[in-house]
Amino acid sequence: MATKRLLSAPTTPSWPSSNVVPSSSDTTLVGASSPVLRSQTLPPVRPDFFNQAEKLARMTLELKVHKLVGQINSLAADVVQLKTMTKDNDAFCRQHAGRMEKVCHETEAARALAESCMQLRDGDKVDVQDYVRRQVRPVVKEVYGMKSVVEELRGKMALVPTLAEANAVLAAVRVQREACEVARGDVSGECQLGLFALDDMGGGWGQEREEKMEQNCSHADFGGVTPGCARSKNQRARIEETIRSTRRWHMDHKTTTLTDAEFIAKYLRKQSRRDPGMAVYLQRAIWKRVKARDTAQDVTNTGPSRRPQSLEEFCKHVTWDDVKRAVEDVLVRRVYGPAAESLSQMQMEQ
pLDDT at 209: 46
In a domain, 39, yes or no: no
Same domain, 297 and 204: yes
Structural domain that includes position 100: 50-119
pLDDT, mean over the chain: 71
The stretch 121-138 carries a mean pLDDT of 75
**CA-to-CA distance for 311 and 269, rounded, in angstroms?**
9
Same domain, 191 and 109: no
pTM of the entire predicted model: 0.37
User: Taking Cα atoms as reference points, which of 129, 120, 125, 130 lies closest to residue 65?
Assistant: 120
Residue 221's H or E segment, with its range, is none
Largest CA distance in the chain: 180
In a domain, 318, yes or no: yes
Which residue intervals of 194-234 are DSSP H helices? 207-219
Confidence check: pLDDT of 268 > 80 = yes
Same domain, 204 and 310: yes
Residue ranges with strand state E in 257-306: none
User: Taking Cα atoms as reference points, which of 307, 322, 338 lies closest to residue 253?
Assistant: 322
DSSP 331: I
What number of residues does the chain have? Answer: 350
Concatenated DSSP letters for 160-178?
A: S--HHHHHHHHHHHHHHHH
Same domain, 193 and 270: yes
Query: Tell me: the pLDDT tens digits for 34-78?
Result: 454 455 677 777 777 887 888 788 788 888 888 888 888 888 888
**CA-to-CA distance for 70 and 310, rounded, in angstroms?**
100
Same domain, 314 and 225: yes
In a domain, 208, yes or no: yes
In a domain, 326, yes or no: yes
**CA-to-CA distance for 214 and 220, rounded, in angstroms?**
9
Same domain, 206 and 97: no
In a domain, 350, yes or no: no
